């Protein structure tokens, strides 16, 4: 299992100059290679292999106009080509969007493999630099002197902060002890998450809390002249404000996902179409500020790592409109209706808690391998022998829930 340690780095002036030059060379190699790929595809309809891009890099270094490419380590340049090749593989496999050109205003990074750095006695030395790179190690449980990283990533964020990331190949951790509990999780905006156990996790709304200060910084940035030093300072302030929001959100998501993984053996969530939901201009900011996609990614990673099971049910399953007691389904339920009464059994439902209970029931059907598990059909609700038919769901394009991420199941 590959894991990573990310910590703050404090390069001196000479190291900053070398690293900034490396970032620029990585950007040039990436952009020129991407432009050549696109031109070849449009003109001849042919793709480009990694071997061909490697040969093109050798030709670029021989070009007198690009002689500065030889002033930096060749390892980050070759890694840029490998990353672009994998990016196109992910694009053609429909796992990612089309690779884009790199900008000097965004996050910059350089990847160093073992032949371009040394880590001895806790001191990190990079290729083309004379002094060790100073960084702050923040993990007392990990011994830095015995660390054997496979790669070191040096990055500079838009706000000017430097980071060093050490990626290592570690052994799989011991699975967490079983708790005998399963939970359904309904994600929302009013409450970030409501569980089938009745717990409501409040939405901290980190972006909304800093909306006024962000707007003020961006107004100052808009008034600055293009290319001026004041504009660079104003852009750094905007980046720092966004960094605080990003880090606060990440900390909240990690705490919430870790607690769910520790307390439950099975976690059931919905396959939300976040990309489609943010097209609603009235809810786009609120939905984006929740971080549902990152929360699902963290749950999947931690469940796989600690021997838990994550079940994702189909997005078309009407969890909010279905009575968790008898299985009766409403024809319509507006988003503003937070409570409703079942006309079949008379039960009074909290919208989110009822949805979480139905999500858990559908997840158990998926775990049993029910023939209707793709759309939540064949779910037997508590207190009733009524089983919901899937006849009306067969015409909709539905995808089966993600099976267990635990190995061997």
Q: Catalytic residue numbers? A: 186, 270, 352
Secondary structure E strands in 136-257: 151-156, 162-169, 182-187, 191-195, 200-202
* 153 touches 165 (CB < 8 A): yes
Neighbouring residues of 311: CB distance < 8 A, sequence distance ≥ 6: 266, 267, 268, 269, 363, 366, 367, 401, 402, 403, 404
392: number of Cβ within 10 Å = 11
377: number of Cβ within 10 Å = 22
Of 185, 188, 200, 186, the residue nearest 283 (C-alpha): 188
Tell me how far apart the alpha carbons of residues 391 and 388 are, in angstroms, rounded to a whole number.
9
CA end-to-end span of the chain: 18
Tell me how far apart the alpha carbons of residues 339 and 354 are, in angstroms, rounded to a whole number.
9
Please give the DSSP secondary-structure letter assigned to residue 196: T
For residue 305, give the 3-state DSSP assignment. helix
Tell me how far apart the alpha carbons of residues 157 and 248 are, in angstroms, rounded to a whole number.
16
**H-only helix segments in 127-224:** 206-209, 211-223
Burial of 323 (0-12, 13-18, 19+ CB in 10 A): buried
Tell me how far apart the alpha carbons of residues 292 and 273 are, in angstroms, rounded to a whole number.
10
């Amino acid at each position: 299992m590959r894991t990573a340690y990310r910590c703050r780095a404090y390069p001196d002036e000479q190291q900053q100059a070398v690293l900034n030059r490396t970032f620029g060379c990585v950007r040039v190699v990436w952009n020129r290679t991407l432009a050549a790929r696109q031109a070849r595809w449009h003109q001849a309809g042919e793709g480009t292999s990694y071997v061909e891009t490697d040969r093109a890099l050798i030709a670029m270094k021989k070009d007198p106009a690009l002689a500065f490419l030889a002033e930096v380590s060749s390892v980050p340049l070759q890694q840029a080509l490998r990353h672009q090749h994998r990016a196109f593989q992910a694009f053609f496999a429909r796992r990612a969007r089309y690779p884009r050109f790199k900008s000097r205003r965004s996050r910059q990074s350089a990847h160093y493999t073992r032949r371009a750095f040394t880590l001895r006695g806790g001191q990190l030395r990079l290729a083309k630099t004379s002094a060790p790179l100073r960084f702050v190690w923040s993990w007392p449980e990990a011994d830095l002197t015995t660390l054997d990283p496979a790669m070191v990533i040096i990055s500079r964020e838009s706000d000017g902060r430097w980071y060093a990331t050490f990626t290592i190949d570690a052994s799989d951790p011991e699975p967490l002890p079983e708790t005998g509990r399963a939970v359904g999780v309904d994600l929302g905006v009013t409450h970030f998450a409501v569980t089938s156990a009745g717990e409501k996790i409040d939405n901290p709304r980190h972006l909304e809390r800093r909306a006024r200060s962000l707007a003020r910084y961006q107004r100052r940035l808009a008034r600055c002249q293009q290319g001026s030093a004041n504009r660079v300072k104003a852009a750094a302030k905007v980046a720092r404000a966004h960094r605080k929001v990003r880090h606060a959100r990440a900390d909240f998501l990690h705490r919430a996902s870790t607690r769910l993984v520790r307390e439950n053996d099975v976690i059931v969530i919905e396959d939300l179409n976040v990309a489609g939901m943010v097209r609603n201009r009235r809810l786009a900011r609120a939905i984006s500020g929740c971080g549902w996609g990152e929360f699902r990614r963290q749950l999947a990673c931690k469940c796989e790592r600690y021997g838990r099971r994550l079940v994702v049910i189909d997005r078309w399953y009407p969890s909010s409109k279905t009575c968790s007691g008898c299985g009766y389904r409403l024809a319509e339920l507006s988003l503003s209706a937070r409570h409703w009464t079942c006309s079949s059994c008379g039960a009074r439902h909290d919208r989110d808690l009822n949805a979480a209970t139905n999500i858990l029931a559908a997840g158990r059907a998926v775990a049993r391998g029910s023939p209707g598990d793709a759309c939540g059909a064949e779910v037997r609700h508590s207190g009733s022998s009524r089983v919901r038919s899937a006849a009306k769901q067969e015409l909709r394009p539905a995808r089966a829930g993600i099976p267990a991420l635990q190995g061997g199941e």
